């Protein structure tokens, strides 16, 4: 079974609590506080698995929760950090925010990505000892780990996409130009998932080709299998548009090209403008020089489409080397495979439940509270200008300042967020 679109839930581990303890040892007086800090919660980490090309592993496993950090211990001992959860996905998987649909990260390179950070461990009571407070009987709780719902969307990484109606010979052609061995049979929809093949040109050179199945008229509206697989053409730099020049099934190659190109345009305007090479397959089954419809077809490709045309036979190997050469030469002048940029800003990536934001006024000071703000503050270095600016942008983006205005705050009045105070500037 081929799965290329799933929704999952991820939750990083919470930070461990700081310990409240005091050093007690025989003959040692006034040992003082020695509560250790809590451990960091485990992260949720994504990593590319080169050996898979489907999201099938997520069919029955869609919830991932990392380990919490351990609580701090006596003797200033640090609690154990929670173990990370590493999730492997096929190369080319997009991580999207389920709520907004925006791209968070494109798993197209051999790099890891932390999608949810574990909470920071809380401070033990030893951090709160002062000359005037020598016996602090309190410590800090750890912050909560980030959590969110993600959509995983697989968009295969291939330089070349083979498109065309069912049974025109796309799978056979992929097998002829590469080492791929897709299932091939003489009936429609033999291919139920995209197949990748590496085309070798010698001396370490080559390109990756993908057989995109299921394109029929109406695919962009969800008919047949095409709607499921059109997304895999997105990254292809070049399209090999395969038609059956033998017309053995009564198909008209000109009409087929127009219908497929129309579906590409309906799905995504940019796809219809992607460079193409017309590949007339099964040329061994027709006398090209004697058929009038072949001349009409050649005129259409040359003078209407203005595209290169190659006659091939996946069965006999005729024209295969010419197709590989032309494809490689065309790819030289095309931009590299598309890698998507993140669409979700760091400020937007902070998980917020507006109902959690509580504002109260006491003695002229506006107190702002909420679990999400408390967790966010655990990630902020208030001595760093950039970090402090980020904190301010999140408060603005997430509507905290607007809530303060609704509560009637005036410029110059004091705002207190978990003991961090500042004057409000309208």
The Cα 60–Cα 62 span in angstroms is 6
Residue 204 contacts residue 241 (beta carbons within 8 Å): no
Sheet-wide strand order for 113-116: 85-89, 44-48, 113-116
Sheet-wide strand order for 420-423: 358-362, 365-369, 414-417, 420-423
Q: What is the pLDDT of residues 233-256, one digit of tens each?
A: 888 899 999 999 998 878 899 999
Residues 6+ apart with CB under 8 A from 363: none
Higher-pLDDT residue of 217 and 360 is 360
CATH T-level assignment (fold) for domain 1-154: Spo0b-associated Gtp-binding Protein; Chain: A, (2.70.210)
Q: What is the pLDDT of residues 56-106, one digit of tens each?
A: 889 889 999 999 999 999 988 999 999 999 999 988 999 999 988 999 999
Q: What is the pLDDT of residues 349-362, one digit of tens each?
A: 766 655 678 999 99
Q: Which of 316, 372, 333 is nearest to 159 (CA)?
A: 333
Residues 6+ apart with CB under 8 A from 22: 31, 32, 33, 34, 135
State both tokens at 325.
């050469």
- What does the pLDDT read at residue 4? 77
The DSSP annotation for 372-399 comes to: HHHHHHTT--TTSHHHHHHHHHHHHHTT
> CATH 2.70.210.12 occupies which residues in the chain?
1-154
The Cα 271–Cα 236 span in angstroms is 9
> CATH 3.40.50.300 occupies which residues in the chain?
160-332
Rounded to 5 degrees, what are φ and ψ at 258?
A: -65, -40
* Residue 222 confidence (pLDDT) above 60: no
* Residue 413 confidence (pLDDT) above 50: yes
What superfamily does domain 354-423 belong to in CATH? GTP-binding protein OBG, C-terminal domain (3.30.300.350)
- What does the pLDDT read at residue 307? 96
The Cα 133–Cα 291 span in angstroms is 99
> CATH 3.30.300.350 occupies which residues in the chain?
354-423
Residues 6+ apart with CB under 8 A from 345: 397
Report the mean per-residue pLDDT for the chain. Answer: 85
Taking residues 268-297, report their average pLDDT.
91
The Cα 65–Cα 87 span in angstroms is 11
Say what the alpha-carbon torsion angle 239, 241, 242, 248 is, to the nearest 10 degrees: 170
CATH T-level assignment (fold) for domain 160-332: Rossmann fold (3.40.50)
């Amino acid at each position: 079974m081929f799965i290329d679109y799933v929704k999952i839930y991820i939750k990083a581990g919470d930070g461990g609590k700081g310990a409240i303890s005091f050093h007690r040892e025989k003959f040692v007086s006034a040992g003082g506080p020695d509560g250790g800090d809590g451990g960091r919660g485990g992260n949720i980490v994504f990593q590319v698995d080169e050996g898979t090309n489907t999201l099938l592993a997520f069919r029955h496993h869609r919830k991932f929760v990392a380990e919490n950090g351990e609580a701090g211990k006596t003797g200033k001992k640090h609690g154990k950090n929670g173990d990370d959860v590493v999730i492997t996905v096929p190369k080319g998987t997009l991580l999207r925010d389920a709520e907004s649909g925006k791209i968070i990260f494109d798993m197209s390179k051999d790099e890891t990505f932390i999608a949810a950070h574990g909470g920071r461990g809380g401070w033990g009571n030893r951090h709160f000892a002062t000359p005037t407070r020598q016996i602090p009987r309190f410590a800090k709780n750890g912050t909560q780990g980030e959590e969110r719902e993600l959509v995983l969307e697989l968009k295969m990484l291939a330089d070349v996409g083979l498109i065309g109606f069912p049974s025109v010979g796309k799978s056979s052609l992929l097998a002829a130009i590469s080492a791929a061995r897709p299932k091939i049979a003489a009936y429609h929809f033999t291919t139920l998932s995209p197949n990748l093949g590496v085309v070798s040109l010698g001396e370490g050179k080559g390109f990756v080709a993908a057989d995109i199945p299921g394109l029929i008229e109406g695919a962009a509206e969800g008919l047949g299998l095409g709607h499921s697989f059109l997304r895999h053409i997105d990254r292809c730099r070049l399209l090999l548009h395969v038609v059956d020049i033998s017309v053995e099934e009564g198909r008209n190659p000109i009409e087929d090209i127009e219908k497929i190109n129309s579906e590409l345009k309906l799905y995504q305007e940019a796809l219809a403008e992607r460079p193409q090479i017309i590949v007339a397959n099964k040329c061994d089954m027709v006398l090209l020089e004697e058929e009038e419809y072949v001349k009409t077809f050649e005129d259409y490709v040359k003078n209407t489409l203005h595209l290169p045309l190659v006659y091939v036979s996946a069965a006999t190997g005729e024209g295969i080397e010419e197709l590989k050469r032309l494809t490689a030469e065309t790819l030289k002048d095309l931009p590299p495979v598309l890698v998507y940029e993140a669409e979700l800003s760091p400020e937007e990536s902070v998980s917020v439940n507006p109902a959690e934001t509580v504002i109260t006024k006491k003695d002229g000071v506006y107190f702002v509270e909420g679990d999400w703000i408390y967790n966010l503050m655990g990630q902020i270095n208030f001595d760093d200008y950039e970090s402090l600016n980020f904190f301010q942008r999140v408060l603005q983006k997430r509507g905290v300042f607007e809530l303060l205005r609704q509560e009637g705050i005036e410029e110059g009045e004091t705002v207190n967020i978990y003991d961090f105070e500042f004057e409000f500037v309208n």
